[in-house]
Amino acid sequence: GQCRMVCPTGAIIIKNETEKLWDALYDKSKRVIAQIAPAVRVALGEEFGKKPGEVTTGKIVAILKKLGVEEVFDTSLSADLTVVEESNEFLKRYNKGENLPLFTSCCPGWVKFAETRYPELKENISSCKSPQQMFGTVLREAYKEKDAEDLRDTYILSIMPCTAKKAEAARPEFSHDGVREVDLVLTTQELSIMIKEIGIKFDEVEEEAMDMPFGTGSGAGVIFGTTGGVTEAVLRRVLKNKFDKEDCNIIFNSVRGLDSVKEAIVNIDGNEIKIAVVHGLKHADNLIKQIKSGEKKYDLIEVMACNGGCVAGGGQPQPKMITRETRALRSKGLYDIDKTNQLKDAEDNYIVKNIYNGLLKNKTHILHTNH
Ligand code: SF4
């Protein structure tokens, strides 16, 4: 009913910013384009009677187009950029033995926690912008000329699984001359509110494909939405041509699943790389304490603030009632997309190559920041 629409299970819409999107869509001076995070596509359907994990990417694209969004792209693509940047950063640090362990930086909930609780870890957190911000950065470059030509401003919308992504997009370092890299972040829940408000019948929406060129992400970019996904994505790149498929699968399996701390040790050319994957800030806090006391030692640590990773973000459907089963099903949805994607890792993605040879030529530094 009406109430559930506005206050789903009494939880977590901190503020409803859907008005802002309507304003932008009605503004003729703006070209609204969007990116969709991986986790959104395996959860939005639950607001419309679908099972957790059911993939609704094509419907989300079609709905955003109906609302007036001109082009719809895939955050998995910028996750691929993150994989390239972060694995380069890791190998550089590892070879020099500098600022290890390297902590991932794609979850703003974790970054904020670390800044507050463990400021001394600043140098250990990856300098990579998150996929959301990398996408904003690339799109601003890509639309510069077009904006000048048709005298419109490109307005960049993100559909994300959490409100921490709103706070991330608002950080001062992600604005340049008063222009934000990402103009507006709406959560999965906020998108569902808009769909209900205008009475779109979700079941009847015919699926549409994402737009080119930025609508193509690899499977590695898609699994970013679940715990262990970032690590697996980086490992797919780092282990390529060093291990056979079976050994790779054994290693990948050790970072999958919902155990609160997962570990993997990989031997590359005689060097041992120790990896930990942790999700949930309480577990991250424990792990950091163990590292500080010398009880544990790692080279690379993936941290996601939410239990299960972004699939279980606070902006997803039913955040307060989410069960282990729901987490597992939504994750499975992402691994299923990965399975049927021809592009397995970031470097298979020819769009990524084109971006490096074109838009980002000699300026990959714009993908990095000082947290
Ligand atoms: Fe947001 Fe949670 Fe994902 Fe972090 S893990 S980016 S807080 S949804």
Task: Say how many Å lie between the CA of residue 313 and the centre of ligand 1.
Answer: 5
Compute how many other C-beta atoms are within 10 angstroms of the C-beta atom of residue 133.
27
Tell me, using a 6 A CB cutoff, whether residue 107 lines ligand 1. Answer: yes
Tell me, using a 6 A CB cutoff, whether residue 311 lines ligand 1. Answer: no
Tell me, using a 6 A CB cutoff, whether residue 304 lines ligand 1. Answer: yes
pLDDT at 85 over 60: yes
Which amino acid is it at 144? K
Residue spans of the domains in the chain: they are 2-77+131-216, 79-128+220-350
For a mutational test of ligand 1's pocket, the pick from 304, 307, 316, 318, i.e. the residue with the most ligand atoms closer than 8 A to its C-beta, is 304
* Residue 279 CA, closest ligand 1 atom number: 5
Give the percent of the chain with pLDDT over 90: 87
pLDDT at 15 over 90: no
Question: pLDDT band for position 1 (50/70/90)?
Answer: very low
Give catalytic residues, as residue numbers.
86, 89, 106, 126, 165, 168, 173, 310
Task: Say how many Å lie between the CA of residue 310 and the centre of ligand 1.
Answer: 5
Q: Whose structure tokens read 């699939």? A: 311
pLDDT at 74 over 60: yes
What number is the average pLDDT over the span 146-169?
97
**Residue 39 half-sphere exposure, CB side, CA atoms within 13 Å?**
32
User: Of 64, 106, 347, 72, nearest to 225 (Cα)?
Assistant: 106
Say whether the peptide bond before residue 101 is cis (omega within 30 degrees of 0): yes
Euclidean distance between CA atoms 128 and 178, whole angstroms: 22
Q: Give the pLDDT score at 7.
A: 47
**In degrees, to the nearest 5, what angle opens at C-alpha 211 toward C-alphas 45 and 368?**
90
| Inter-axis angle of helices 188-197 and 18-26, nearest 10 | 60
pLDDT at 6 over 60: no
Per residue in 277-324, pLDDT (tens digit) is 999 999 999 999 999 999 999 999 999 999 999 999 999 998 888 999
Q: What is the ipTM of this complex?
A: 0.99
Q: Give the pLDDT score at 318.
A: 85
Per residue in 158-205, pLDDT (tens digit) is 999 999 999 999 999 999 999 999 999 999 999 999 999 999 999 999
Task: Say how many Å lie between the CA of residue 168 and the centre of ligand 1.
Answer: 11
Tell me, using a 6 A CB cutoff, whether residue 306 lines ligand 1. Answer: yes
- Going along the chain, which residue ranges are E strands? 30-36, 71-74, 102-103, 153-160, 175-176, 179-180, 184-187, 261-268, 271-279, 300-304
Question: pLDDT band for position 366 (50/70/90)?
Answer: very high
Q: Give the pLDDT score at 5.
A: 45
For a mutational test of ligand 1's pocket, the pick from 107, 112, 129, i.e. the residue with the most ligand atoms closer than 8 A to its C-beta, is 107
pLDDT at 2 over 80: no
Task: Fill in the DSSP letter of residue 316.
Answer: S
Question: pLDDT band for position 14 (50/70/90)?
Answer: low
Mean of pLDDT over the chain: 93
Q: Give the pLDDT score at 255.
A: 93
CATH superfamily for domain 79-128+220-350: Fe-only Hydrogenase (Larger Subunit); Chain L, domain 3 (3.40.950.10)
Task: Say how many Å lie between the CA of residue 108 and the centre of ligand 1.
Answer: 7
Token pair of 246 as six digits: 């079976």
Question: pLDDT band for position 4 (50/70/90)?
Answer: very low
| Inter-axis angle of helices 75-96 and 131-150, nearest 10 | 130
Q: Give the pLDDT score at 241.
A: 82
pLDDT at 244 over 90: no
The radius of gyration computed from the CA coordinates of the chain, to the nearest angstrom, equals 20
Higher pLDDT, 81 or 371: 81
Length of the chain: 371
CATH class of 2-77+131-216: alpha beta
